[in-house]
Homo-oligomer: A and B are copies of this chain.
Amino acid sequence: MHDQTAAIIVIGNEILSGKVADTNATFLTQELRRLGVTLKRILVIPDELDAIAEAVRAYQPAVDVVFTSGGVGPTHDDVTIAGIALGLGRRVVRHPFLEEKIREFSGDTVNAARLKMAEVPEGAELIFGGQLNFPTLRAENIYILPGIPELFRDKFSAIKERFAVDPYFLRVIYLCAFESSIAGYLNDTLAVFPDLQLGSYPKLDDPEYQVRVTLESKDQNYLNRAFADLMARLPAECIVRTE
């Protein structure tokens, strides 16, 4: 089964100070799952050069694809490009194509802040697509996305097909039992199906069920056999329904 791993780095003081709730990581998490990509980390850091560089150094070699969100605007707190360049050991350069576009758009009002948006880590690729004229930047395996949720979604949707790999298959069992009463059955199934991704999630005060058990694999046949194995072990009176 073909797999691909990813990490998301959200850059933004506004998230860490609770002024804005993140929606980009939540959106991207669900999109990546649908594409069959395995998300290994989500990290939220401040708009600080060293924090960005450190995150890039940690994740860029460790996963197949890194996505950053935020910090790519024209103001003092937009230091994502410089932070990624620092982390990759590249220079920050003004990209001729972006500079031309910005000068065209700005005319007489061109200024340092606008031209800052032409800056890229040296050697970055421009990826065109989406409803916006402005391209998405890629430096090595890092895709640099804007923090504004509408733009983030537009940009990612325009490039997402390139990340598609074999999908995950999911089965769910809803149970009326204490988690601690069924833990042994889960362990028994895992002993037979060690590659199964098995999750157990208690729910409080739900009239329908107490525990939601999720079974996942990229191998549908393996998943079905593991599901049948667990169902045969669980006391029938505990099973509310399955999906």
| Interface positions of A (Cβ within 8 A of B) | 13-22, 26, 29-30, 32-34, 39-46, 73-77, 109, 111-114, 116-117, 148, 150-151, 168, 179-184, 186-187, 190, 197-205, 214, 216
Contacts and interface: CB of A to CB of B under 8 A. Distances in A.
A28 to B, nearest CB: 9
Given A14-B199, A113-B180, A201-B14, A186 B151 contact: no
A184 B111 contact: yes
B18 A30 contact: yes
Given A74-B180, A148-B204, 6 more contacts: A16-B29, A40-B46, A73-B202, A74-B183, A76-B198, A76-B200
B183 A216 contact: no
B15 A29 contact: yes
A180 B117 contact: yes
B18 A75 contact: no
Given A109-B181, A184-B113, A200 B73 contact: yes
